[in-house]
Structure formats: structure tokens, C-alpha cells
Homo-oligomer: A and B are copies of this chain.
């Protein structure tokens, strides 16, 4: 019984790691599809999203089965509950990468945004992909230092997001309506991807320490810029 339990816990952690790898890969590809107007990459992100969704379902089934048959306690219970939460977070990260890929695909053969907006959004997308990679490593190694790094480094994404508002709210530049809309939405999707990374990091810290991290992140960038 005990050995079976350990095997199931290990299997849950491995599934979560595979899911994190998929969510990281999705943003890595989405970011490159945006940078290079690469249709194939964008489509691969869109097609692969159902695999990420399937991982979420699988993790849910594993956790419910573990809870029902093994009644874990203490740190094992935290691991199970956190796996359930992180599964939801990673599913969302996959969706956000897919949203980015859809916009890249929709503008093909052009790049989704151009000029100043291009540099800014590509930088944001690369930053988001970087966060995805760190989330994957953090989950694989249950690494609390990486969790802290992810939380701190999210500021960079927020700062870039602020710059997108400076750009689109300036009536003096000649961005098309389509570009304004794309910049606002891509900015939102990429910032949310980073936020979900932070969310995963806080859950990982709870898993490891049993202590809650204060979850009040203050106003969002939009609230700050528009409120």
C-alpha cells in the first residue's frame, strides 16, 4: 500500500512536470511565431493545446483517486492539492500562448505588429517564454529559489506592459486600429502568462513550506495605467 502510494505520488509529480514542459514550449513557440511571422510554429501551438488540456484532466483524475483511496496528510496532502491548482494554472498558460499564436497566425505573412510596437511585443513574448521555462524547472526540481526568482522577475514583464500603454495611448503616432487592438491584447495575454507563472511560484512555495505567500499583488498594470 505504502509503495503503491509513493509510486502514485511520483507519477503525479512527473505528469505535472510534463504538463509544465508543454506550457513552456507553447509560449516559446508562440513567441517565435510572433517574432518571425512563422505560420507553422503558430499552428503547432494551436494544435498542441488540446494535449495541455488533457494533462489537466489527467492530473485531476490522479488527485481525486489519490485523495479517495490513500487519504494523504501533511505535506503529501499539500502536494496533491497544489498539483490540482498548478494543473489549472498551466492549462491557462497554455490557453494564453494559444491566444498569442492565433494573432501571429492571423497576420501571416506579415508580422503581427510593426515598428516600435514590434520590438516591445517581441521583448515581452521572449520574457514570457523565459518565465515559462523557469516555471518548468521550478516544478521539475521543486525549487524554492526559482520560485522566488520568478516572482521578482515578473516586474520586467510589468514594465514592458506599461510601455505598451504609453505607445497605444499616444494619439500622435500612426498605428492602425488593428495594431492598437493587437498590442492591447498581446500585452494582456503576455502579462497574464507571467502572472500565472507567479501564481504557480506561490503555490510551489506553499507546497514546500506549508506557508501561504501573501497573494495580494496590488493593482494590475491595466488598473494602474487606466484606472
Contacts and interface: CB of A to CB of B under 8 A. Distances in A.
Given A103-B227, A177-B169, A220-B99, A73 B68 contact: yes
Interface stretch (A22-30, A131-139, A211-219): A211-219
A81 B64 contact: yes
> Which interface residue of A68, A74, A176, A212 has the most chain B CB atoms within 10 A?
A68
Contacts of A47: none
Contacts of A178: 169
Interface residues of A, number: 47
A195 to B, nearest CB: 10
Contact of A181 (B106, B180, B212): B180
Contacts of A114: none
A50 B185 CA distance: 26
B177 A180 contact: yes
Nearest to A65: B77
Contacts of A219: 102
Interface in A201-221: 212, 215-216, 219-220
Interface of A: 50, 53, 57, 60, 63-64, 67-68, 71, 73-74, 77-78, 81, 84-85, 88, 95, 98-99, 102-103, 105-106, 165, 168-171, 176-178, 180-182, 184-185, 188, 212, 215-216, 219-220, 222-223, 226-227
18 contacts: A50-B216, A67-B71, A67-B81, A68-B73, A71-B71, A84-B85, A85-B88, A95-B220, A98-B223, A99-B223, A102-B219, A102-B223, A103-B222, A168-B180, A169-B177, A180-B184, A185-B222, A188-B188
